[in-house]
Amino acid sequence: MKKEAEEKLKAEELRRARAAADIPIIWILGGPGCGKGTQCAKIVEKYGFTHLSSGDLLRNEVASGSDKGRQLQAVMASGGLVSNDEVLSLLNDAIARAKGSSKGFLIDGYPRQKNQGVEFEARIAPADLALYFECSEDTMVQRIMARAAASSVKRDDDNEKTIRARLLTFKQNTNAILELYEPKTLTINAERDVDDIFLEVVQAIDCVLKKKQQNAAAQC
């Protein structure tokens, strides 16, 4: 029975992957404070894409009070890490729900590790583009600390030493992702004016959309 259930799950994921292949999927990568949230909002406004954040999906599932949400809450409350299988399942479900109405998907902050990108493309669909918003460590530290100072909620880990340690881990993981997906990655200088950055984002997305249209026309 277990094997049969696993085969049904894989078949369903394959069906969803084929359906999702017609819709642009863009990975949004960048460290905390790089400004990718601002760019995602502008992309959604211009193109009508669906913005999916793995962190938001986890929090929403917990807030729903579902059985899965309670299981995820127990894992996080104990200090454990939610498995990549669970995160992929949430992303897959969210894409399936929005597929009929969405014009494209922004996968924000995922993958965080090289193996996550491989599993995403195997189980859901290949990414058409990865936008990496590159920012110097000093700039990100300054932005994160300024944001923390303005927040009404103070966290013990909002200090320069801890932030730099987190950024080091992020950089090591991201370098491996960028190396693996170099052909589909656009690195964008994120230390410029927001509108200048967005002009470069628009050019990249327009190129992806044009290729999608050409592929669709060739199949007619």
- Render pLDDT for 102-120 as a digit per residue (tens, 0 to 9): 999 999 988 988 999 999 9
Q: Which long-range contacts (CB under 8 A, 24 or more apart) does 95-101 make?
A: 95/16, 95/20, 95/50, 95/52, 95/124, 95/125, 96/16, 96/19, 98/50, 99/16, 99/19, 99/20, 99/23
112-136 average pLDDT score = 94
Is the entire prediction scored with pTM above 0.85? no
C-alpha pair distances (Å), 148 with each of 83, 141, 155, 206: 28, 10, 8, 35
Element (DSSP H or E) covering residue 68: helix 67-77
Which pLDDT value is given to residue 22?
A: 76
Nearest one of 179, 202, 201, 173 to 189, comparing CA atoms: 201
Which pLDDT value is given to residue 32?
A: 87
131-139 average pLDDT score = 95
Residue 81 tokens read as: 């890490």
Q: Return all residues near 148 (Cβ < 8 A) that are at least 6 apart.
A: 154, 155, 158
User: From CA 174, how far away is CA 29, in angstroms rounded?
Assistant: 8
What is the rounded average pLDDT for all residues in the chain?
87
CATH architecture of 31-202: 3-Layer(aba) Sandwich (3.40)
Which pLDDT value is given to residue 217?
A: 72
Q: 16 vs 178, which has greater pLDDT?
A: 178
User: From CA 216, how far away is CA 212, in angstroms rounded?
Assistant: 6
- What tens digit of pLDDT does each residue of 184-194 get? 999 999 999 99
- What tens digit of pLDDT does each residue of 144-201 get? 888 888 877 776 667 888 888 889 888 998 999 999 999 999 999 999 999 999 999 9
pLDDT at 16 over 60: no
| Amino acid in position 154 | K
Highest mean pLDDT, choosing among 16-25, 61-70, 128-137: 128-137
Which pLDDT value is given to residue 18?
A: 47
Which pLDDT value is given to residue 72?
A: 87
Ranges of each domain in the chain = 31-202
| Amino acid in position 187 | T
Nearest one of 42, 37, 38, 78 to 55, comparing CA atoms: 37
pLDDT at 97 over 80: yes
Residue 6 tokens read as: 């696993």
